[in-house]
Amino acid sequence: MLLPLIGWASPVTTEHVRAELISERERVAPGTSVTLALALDIQPGWHTCWRNPGDSGEAPRILWALPPGVAVSQIRWPHPELIRVGPLANHGYSGRALHLVSLSVPPGWPAGTPIPVRAQAHWLVCAEHCVPESGALELRLTTAETAGPEDATSAAVIAEAEKELPRGPLRRARLGEHGTGLRLSIPLAENPALGLDPSASLWFFAGRWGLIEHAAEQPWRLGTDRLEIDPTRGAQAAMVEPEGVLVITGGDGTTTAFELSAERGLPPGRQSIPSRPRT
């Protein structure tokens, strides 16, 4: 679905992607913020990358050119999907990728003066091979003493992307050595929102390259007091931060994602719970 222009926007079409900056509202007020998104509509059969692209690819980059005092946040990443390409596994997005940021307008910005938002975006789009693409994007926001109403179409698209953002971090997760591999242990009592059921499937997306082998299976077990996942050790498992996103897919196909930052070392005195293969 192509989005209508809001304010004044300049989309870019490359060989494999249509890229555009969109805003949840056209008119903003001094001292407020507004959510923007870099929207990438991707050609079927191709995908772009998450912040850790997996076995190949590179995360998109946005270089902003903004008026003095106007600032943008870091990208907020909707949870990725696992995309297998031959023996490799990539983390990314197909169809459409939305990269959310918050743009802040300084209190002293003169109401009535438009805000030109310019960005140079770079991304790799991948199938069996990856192709570097880029585009110079522009968006103009109007300003007034009070912010304007949301643009119904753009706000709905951004709201859907926000539903795909990982929830707040899981508590007291631990990652430690187990046999020749790794074990991720997550206590259930401290994390009731996990809501796992027997028909669920799950996948841990490491936030840093080298923590785990991305393409390897992740056997998991659900006990009375904790969830255990056994990823395969990556080339830099002892050096990179043990963080990422846990994505759970219920039996009805709905997905829920959680941020995860684990402490090193398994809980003391714990015995393994009976094995359950990943489904």
**Domain 174-264 bears CATH identifier 2.130.10:** no
- What confidence tens digit (pLDDT) does each residue in 69-98 have? 999 999 999 999 999 999 999 999 999 999
pLDDT at 251: 87
pLDDT at 268: 76
Give, in words, the CATH class of 8-163: mainly beta
Longest dimension (CA), the chain: 65
Distances (CA, A) of 106 to 115, 118, 147, 174, 240: 11, 17, 13, 41, 37
pLDDT at 9: 60
The reply to whether 174-264 shares the fold of 8-163 is yes
In the predicted structure, residue 54 carries a pLDDT above the cut 90: yes
What DSSP character marks residue 56? S
Residue ranges per domain, the chain? 8-163, 174-264
In the predicted structure, residue 270 carries a pLDDT above the cut 70: no
In DSSP terms, 186 is beta-bridged to: 227
In the predicted structure, residue 7 carries a pLDDT above the cut 50: no
- What confidence tens digit (pLDDT) does each residue in 206-244 have? 999 999 999 999 999 998 899 999 999 999 999 999 999
In the predicted structure, residue 2 carries a pLDDT above the cut 60: no
pLDDT at 267: 85
Q: Based on C-alpha coordinates, what's the Rg of the chain? A: 21
In the predicted structure, residue 100 carries a pLDDT above the cut 90: yes
In the predicted structure, residue 63 carries a pLDDT above the cut 90: yes
Q: How far is C-alpha 33 from the geometric centre of its chain's CA atoms?
A: 21
- What confidence tens digit (pLDDT) does each residue in 113-167 have? 999 999 999 999 999 899 999 999 999 999 999 999 999 999 999 999 999 999 9
Number of Cβ within a 10 Å radius of residue 254: 9
Q: What is the mean pLDDT of the chain?
A: 92
Mean pLDDT calculated for residue range 5-27: 84
In the predicted structure, residue 272 carries a pLDDT above the cut 90: no
- What confidence tens digit (pLDDT) does each residue in 238-258 have? 999 999 999 999 988 899 999
